[in-house]
Amino acid sequence: MQSRTHTCGELRATNVGEKVTLVGWLENFREVGSNLGFVVMRDFYGTTQVVVETEEMMAAFKPINKESTIKVEGVVRERSSKNNKISTGDIEVVPENVTVLGKCIYNELPFEVNRSREADETQRLKYRYLDLRNPEVKNNIILRCNVVKALRDAMSAHGFMEITTPILTASSPEGARDYLVPARKHPGKFYALPQAPQQFKQLLMVSGIDRYFQIAPCFRDEDARGDRCPGEFYQLDMEMAFASQEDVFEVLEDVLPPIFAKYGKYDIASSAPFKRIPYLEAMENYGSDKPDLRIDLRVKDVTDILESCGFDKFTGNVIKAVKVSNCTESRKVVDGLCEQVEVQAGDKPYWFKMDENGEIVGGISKFVKPVADKVIAALDLNKNDLVVVAAAKKTQAIKTSGVIVKTFGNAIPGHIDRERYEFCWIVDFPMYEIGEESGELEFCHNPFSMPSGGIETLEKAERGEIDPLTITADQYDLVVNGIELSSGAVRNHDPEIMIKAFKMVNLGEEDVKSKFPAMYNAFCYGAPPHAGIAPGVDRMVMLLAGEDSIREVIPFPMNKNAQDIMMGAPSEVTQKQLDELNIAITKKED
């Protein structure tokens, strides 16, 4: 135990009478009298109370600033007033000697360590090493460590090999901005940090590796949000050869629920098989491709009933209704929730309800009353049922209805079972869509997913026998509690099918060869069917810890502006460094 006999979380009543040596941080020193004081020592494992009872020891402790590291040698005795809130609450240590191992030179700290989560985030990130001393913050990092180990153990038990893939690679159009690294030996050329190990893991399948996984670092120059940090993140990257969609599902349905149940804030997690929801069904019934199945609210299309009711907003629009049963909240509360929906969705919702007398009242009720019987029948309304309505072009109406479901489902009592983790698979994603800007056919999601039905489906679309927009891909998302953990797919491993898939969006064989030369060439040497997925580790731990911000589970996160204010990154470099890399800065931002 190095210079200590015990940790600060280890001593118990059975140690009374022993001479011990403790090391740690001086968390607090409280003077009660001229020769009486109480010191709290803290290390990684817990806290121990040290009782100062002599003039000599008082003189030794008083000059020591809080958060200095110290070594205390003394004797364990039983406490007269026990503290049931800490594991060492039955004992205290009477010191015989104290040594300062590392002096904190500051009388004032940037924040109180045990209350660091109340501090300004900038201060927390600047002094992250102090923030991490807070047991609440530290425990999230311990949780992360335990979860990563559990993931590794589980994947290894399923026959997966952990293989690390390159960090310096070629720039690739993965969908986000690359982080570029200048190549000193190749002036004018750049490496890129991988947005994901996607191509490498598929090449491993071609290489004959049967089951691969990696806790993979990924780098994307993206803006921050609550569940995404800028810069870098980690994912449980996996790929399986000679595998179908169901093979991938079976592995994760076996790996994830025990980990969520053991380490999560809630101890209930979905058991296999997870619910499968086709993409179009998810959008129609939940208003989202990331449904929170803990919420019991559903979306219903009422366009045919309400479009001609006389309300201007309904005319010519798609109308989606969400019934919130047994809602006794006031008009003020309902209007407030509708305002929240408008802020999030960018479109105003409307409402009406059935009162205790069975009458349609409130909100836009005067427009609904003429068709009340049809509305009541279509939505199966009962007394005190609230109906919140979205009306807009189809895409916007679906988006708003999804926000209604989440907002009202979380706010109105009785509509969400919070104490659990509910998983589902979103399947059958569209292969193609019409681009909002181009107006042309584009890939909807991953261009390397296998089209459902294979080459026959693409040939039918070529011949005009089916609409390309009806083609689905063997692609899937894993969702838990309304948060997308990952996207995955059965890969398009056949060069012939790949060329036809890209031809649909007016990209030829040469385009594929030039953009993805290694993968295309490898597939020409006998590629096995393969499939994979990559759940986000940071997002997973955030859910398990019950945190709203992903930065709370990352040891050294960047701020929202992609800055590491503790290390001062990004930073300027010397002209010598720029010259070595053949880089000239032509414009500096203020």
Q: What is the pLDDT of residue 297?
A: 98
In a domain, 111, yes or no: no
Are 517 and 539 within one domain? no
How many C-beta atoms surround the C-beta of residue 214 within 10 A?
Answer: 24
Same domain assignment for residues 480 and 568: no
- Specify whether 555 is located in the same domain as 518: no
- Alpha-carbon 191 to chain mean position: 28
DSSP symbols for 423-440: EEEEEEEESEEE-TTT-S
Residue ending a domain, among 411, 446, 477, is: 411
Q: Based on the domain organization, do 479 and 538 belong to the same domain?
A: no
Residue 235 within any structural domain of the chain: yes
| Contact status, residue 388 vs residue 408, Cβ threshold 8 Å | yes
The rounded distance, in Å, linking the Cα atoms of 257 and 583 is: 50
DSSP for 567-586, written as a single string:
TTBS----HHHHHHTT----
Single out the residue of 430, 413, 407 nearest to residue 287, CA to CA: 407
Backbone φ/ψ region at 406: left (φ over 0), alpha (ψ -120 to 50), beta: alpha
Please indicate, yes or no, whether residues 490 and 567 belong to a single structural domain of this protein: no
Q: CB neighbours of 65 closer than 8 A, spacing ≥ 6?
A: 26, 103, 104, 105, 106, 107
**Rounded Cα–Cα distance for residues 485 and 253 (Å):** 13
Same domain, 158 and 235: yes
Q: Is 396 within a domain?
A: yes
CA neighbours closer than 13 Å in the CB half-sphere of residue 206 = 21
User: What gap in Å lies between CA 322 and CA 391, rounded to an integer?
Assistant: 12
Look up the CATH number of the domain holding residue 349: 3.30.1360.30
Instruction: Output the pLDDT for position 231.
Output: 86
In a domain, 281, yes or no: no
Say if strands 432-434 and 441-443 run parallel, antiparallel, or are unpaired. antiparallel
Among 504, 525, 546, give the residue marking a domain's end.
525
Shared domain for 51 and 158, answered yes or no, is no
Residue 518: predicted pLDDT:
87
Residue span of the structural domain in which 172 resides? 136-272+533-577
User: Does one domain contain both 47 and 140?
Assistant: no
- 382 shares its domain with 497: no
Q: Is residue 198 part of a domain?
A: yes
Identify whether residues 200 and 228 lie together within a single domain.
yes
pLDDT for 448: 85
Token pair in block for residue 355: 């009162």
**CATH number where 538 lies:** 3.30.930.10
Kindly give the confidence (pLDDT) of every residue in the chain, 590 residues in length, as a single tens digit, with 9 standing for 90 and above.
568 999 999 999 999 999 999 999 999 999 998 889 999 999 999 999 999 999 999 999 999 999 999 999 999 999 999 999 999 999 999 999 999 999 999 999 999 999 999 999 999 999 999 999 999 999 999 999 999 999 999 999 999 999 999 999 998 765 678 999 999 999 999 999 999 999 999 999 999 999 999 999 999 998 877 677 888 999 999 999 999 999 999 999 999 999 999 999 999 999 999 999 999 999 999 999 999 999 999 999 999 999 999 999 999 999 999 999 999 999 999 999 999 999 999 999 999 999 999 999 999 999 999 999 999 999 999 999 999 999 999 999 999 999 999 999 999 999 999 999 999 999 999 999 998 788 899 988 778 899 999 999 999 999 999 999 999 999 999 999 999 999 999 999 999 999 999 999 998 888 888 888 888 999 999 999 999 999 999 999 999 999 999 999 999 999 999 999 999 999 999 999 999 999 998 876 65
171 by Cβ neighbours in 10 Å (0-12 / 13-18 / 19+) ranks as middle
Sign of the alpha-carbon dihedral angle for 275, 278, 281, 287: positive
Give the pLDDT confidence score for residue 226 in this predicted structure: 67
Strand 161-162, strand 211-220: pairing: parallel
Same domain, 261 and 140: yes
Within-domain flag for 464: yes
Helix, strand or coil, per DSSP, at residue 413:
coil
Q: Which residues contact 384 (CB under 8 A, 6 or more apart)?
A: 325, 326, 327, 328, 353, 354, 355, 356
- pLDDT, residue 222, reads 85
Helix (H, G, I), strand (E, B) or coil at 275: strand
- Residue 62 in any domain: the answer is yes
Residue 25 belongs to domain with CATH number: 2.40.50.140
d(CA 232, CA 222): 9
Among the listed residues 447, 163, 460, 418, the one whose alpha carbon sits nearest the alpha carbon of residue 292? 418
Task: Give me the helices (H) in 188-330, please.
Answer: 198-206, 245-263, 279-286, 303-306
CA distances from 400 to 271, 284, 318, 392 (A): 31, 12, 11, 9
Residue 572: the pLDDT is: 92
* Whole-number Å distance between alpha carbons of 337 and 183: 53
Residue 109 in domain: no
Q: Tell me how many domains the chain contains.
A: 4
pLDDT for 173 equals: 65
Are residue 58 and residue 23 in the same domain, yes or no?
Answer: yes
Q: Model pTM?
A: 0.91
Q: In a 10 Å sphere around its CB, with 0-12 CB exposed, 13-18 middle and 19+ buried, how is residue 411 labelled?
A: middle
Last residue of a domain, one of 380, 411, 442: 411
Beta-carbon neighbour count of residue 319 at 10 Å? 23
Task: Give Cα 359 to chain centroid, integer Å.
Answer: 44
Round to whole Å and give the CA distance between 467 and 465: 7
